[in-house]
Amino acid sequence: MGSDVPQTAQTPETVLNMLLNSPSPAPRLSEIGTVAEVGDGVAIVAGLEQALSDELLQFSSGVQGIVLDLEPGRLGVVLLGPSSRVTIGESVVRTHRVVSTRVGDALLGRVVNALGIPCDDKGPIRAQTVRPVEAEAPQILDRLAISRPLATGIKVIDAAVPIGLGQRQLIIGDRQTGKTSLAVDAILNQKNSDVICIYCAIGQRGDAVAKVIGAIDDGGMSDRTIVLAAGDEDAAGLAYVAPYAALTIAEHFAGECKDVLVILDDLTHHARSYREISLLLRRPPGREAFPGDIFYIHARLLERAGQFASGGSITVLPVVETPAENLSAYIPTNLISITDGQIYLSPRLMRKNQFPAVDLGVSVSRVGGKAQTKAFRSVAGNLRVTLSQFEELEDFARFGTRLDDETRARLTRGAAVRAALRQADRDPMPAVEQLAVLVAAIEGQFDGLNEAETGRAVIRLRKAAARDLPDLVKRIAENASLTEEDRSRMVALGRAARVYAGGENGTKS
């Protein structure tokens, strides 16, 4: 049965009377500015007197920009898109918000730009949460002391230059010394951990970023890694924003009590992008034409890392390039003073076919030693002493001076230890294998072997350690110390590996 309630028909006159009698909406004021000048990556905007610093502006051409300079009657705006699309006279409106990026689990396994927009062919990103790229660093009371190690799988780093979760450890060296490779290996070694990785490429060529993405995919870490790319062909504003966006994404995961590893590759390009922007905005140049606040932009970025009381942590490995081994250059010295240590990759060691080319005389970790496991700590001291004595004697022996037996023995031992520290790219090692190789080398099991024999002995020893020392794996994870029995077992495995490699009149089986 239908309803007996009569339906009142609304005539057009009734609707019109309702609209006329309803209260009128409040007026909405909107400021509209115009582009007065446009350059390579920046624009000068007039007419937006109420705009705020760091506010995001929307150009009618679709390009966005960040207010960086506030001057009477004009705004200096950094463009986040191609300046070729912006024309003089086009309208600009305020957005009343700051530049933000997408965050969340939906970004895992994706390649995005600084604004969280996908750069791969995997479709749109369904992340609904956005956060400002700028944020205040946590206060002292919100932090904890660094006490947990971050395993990189690289012998020379885990033993002699350890990194702790929440540390800021600088990777520094000349061009083509393996800085990016070192950082990628650290990412690949997190396959057996719960650490989430963010690789931020700043000013890198597209093919270089593609190689890193391929290595991460091949290493099985793509599902827990976010690649944030601001290429050399992108606007300088995107390169400037990129590392801040990477830390914003990391802070989201750290807020969920997760550990995050962030690679900033590299801050030299970031500093150059900011210098380019500043000069185009006609800011006063300082040393090497960098603006006066170049130290502050990196300090406020890296201070956002740490071990937090909430349970999460952000570990940052910033990369910086040195010009011709000049560690006292402007940007490198700034970053050395901000970070908690540095890993220096030496071209001199590269020429000696030493990979990774970590110079332990210059490299240092100021807080990672407190997070280093006891097993590695018992090996690290002897490793540094052996190598430092060897390098001093090596330089002295070049003069052809007659050497006594003790000096020759030290030279032989140092050369063997340095050879044992060689490690191929994309081959991170478990802790027990690292310790077995280091103990065997320090105890002289590789003395007198040539490069090929040492390589065979190390491979043999790694297999034997993985097979014969399963009990030690658990004890190392529980932060137990190496006993004399443990060292003796490692030395015995090293002796067998030496015989296999052809040393001591042995023949390779």
- Using a 10 angstrom Cβ sphere, with 0-12 exposed, 13-18 middle and 19 or more buried, the burial of residue 270 is buried
Pick from 314, 357, 99: which is nearest to 197 by CA?
314
Measured CA to CA, the distance from residue 460 to residue 494 in angstroms comes to: 9
Measured CA to CA, the distance from residue 306 to residue 313 in angstroms comes to: 6
Measured CA to CA, the distance from residue 468 to residue 190 in angstroms comes to: 24
Measured CA to CA, the distance from residue 465 to residue 480 in angstroms comes to: 17
pLDDT value of residue 281:
93
CB 445 within 8 A of CB 500: no
Residue with tokens 């006594």: 404
Distance of CA 369 to the CA centre of its chain: 20
Instruction: Give, as one character, the DSSP assignment of residue 401.
Output: -
pLDDT value of residue 462:
96
Segment 86-137, tens digit of pLDDT? 999 999 999 999 999 999 999 999 999 999 999 998 999 987 899 999 999 9
CB 216 within 8 A of CB 227: yes
Residue with tokens 């002295």: 396
Alpha-carbon Rg of the chain, whole angstroms? Answer: 29
pLDDT at 459 over 50: yes
Measured CA to CA, the distance from residue 438 to residue 381 in angstroms comes to: 12
Active site members: 366
- Using a 10 angstrom Cβ sphere, with 0-12 exposed, 13-18 middle and 19 or more buried, the burial of residue 38 is buried
- Alpha-helical (H) ranges within 319-372 are 330-338, 347-351, 368-371
Mean pLDDT throughout 333-355? Answer: 95
Q: What are phi and psi of 131, to 5 degrees?
A: -135, 150
| Count of CB atoms situated within 10 Å of the CB of 125 | 16
Helix pair 451-468, 431-442: axis angle to 10 deg? 130
What pLDDT band is residue 503 in, cutting at 50, 70 and 90?
low
Pick from 178, 170, 138: which is nearest to 368 by CA?
170
Helix pair 431-442, 484-501: axis angle to 10 deg? 80
Angle at 375 between CA 305 and CA 358, to 5 degrees: 60
| Local structure of 372: helix, strand or coil | coil
Mean pLDDT throughout 229-253? Answer: 95
Pick from 347, 424, 451, 444: which is nearest to 153 by CA?
424
Helix (H) or strand (E) holding 198: strand 196-202
Q: What secondary structure does DSSP assign to 42-102, as a single string?
A: EEEEES-TT--TTEEEEETTS-EEEEEEEETTEEEEEESS-GGG--TT-EEEEEEEE-EEE
Measured CA to CA, the distance from residue 200 to residue 267 in angstroms comes to: 10
Segment 186-239, tens digit of pLDDT? 999 999 899 999 999 999 999 999 999 999 999 999 999 999 999 888 899 999
Mean pLDDT of the chain: 91
Segment 257-309, tens digit of pLDDT? 999 999 999 999 999 999 999 999 999 999 999 999 999 999 999 999 999 99
Question: Which amino acid would we find at residue 148?
Answer: R
| Count of CB atoms situated within 10 Å of the CB of 36 | 15
CATH 2.40.50.140 fits 32-98, yes or no: no
Angle at 202 between CA 196 and CA 207, to 5 degrees: 90
Measured CA to CA, the distance from residue 501 to residue 460 in angstroms comes to: 8
Helix (H) or strand (E) holding 35: strand 32-38
Here the tokens at position 259 are: 């550990």
Task: Specify which of 17-21, 119-123, 163-167, 323-327 reaches the highest per-range mean pLDDT.
Answer: 163-167
pLDDT at 506 over 50: no
pLDDT value of residue 408:
87
| Count of CB atoms situated within 10 Å of the CB of 481 | 12
- Using a 10 angstrom Cβ sphere, with 0-12 exposed, 13-18 middle and 19 or more buried, the burial of residue 227 is buried
Mean pLDDT throughout 474-485? Answer: 93
- Listed by start position, the domains of the chain span 32-98, 102-371, 376-501
CB 180 within 8 A of CB 212: yes
Measured CA to CA, the distance from residue 357 to residue 350 in angstroms comes to: 6
CATH homologous superfamily, domain 376-501: ATP synthase alpha/beta chain, C-terminal domain (1.20.150.20)
What pLDDT band is residue 507 in, cutting at 50, 70 and 90?
very low
pLDDT value of residue 505:
47
| Burial 276-285, CB ≥16 within 10 A → b, else e | bbbebbebee
Measured CA to CA, the distance from residue 206 to residue 201 in angstroms comes to: 10
Segment 16-52, tens digit of pLDDT? 777 777 776 666 667 899 999 998 899 999 999 899 9
Which CATH number is associated with domain 102-371? 3.40.50.300
Domains 32-98 and 102-371 share a fold: no
- Using a 10 angstrom Cβ sphere, with 0-12 exposed, 13-18 middle and 19 or more buried, the burial of residue 88 is exposed
Question: Which amino acid would we find at residue 60?
Answer: S
Measured CA to CA, the distance from residue 301 to residue 246 in angstroms comes to: 10
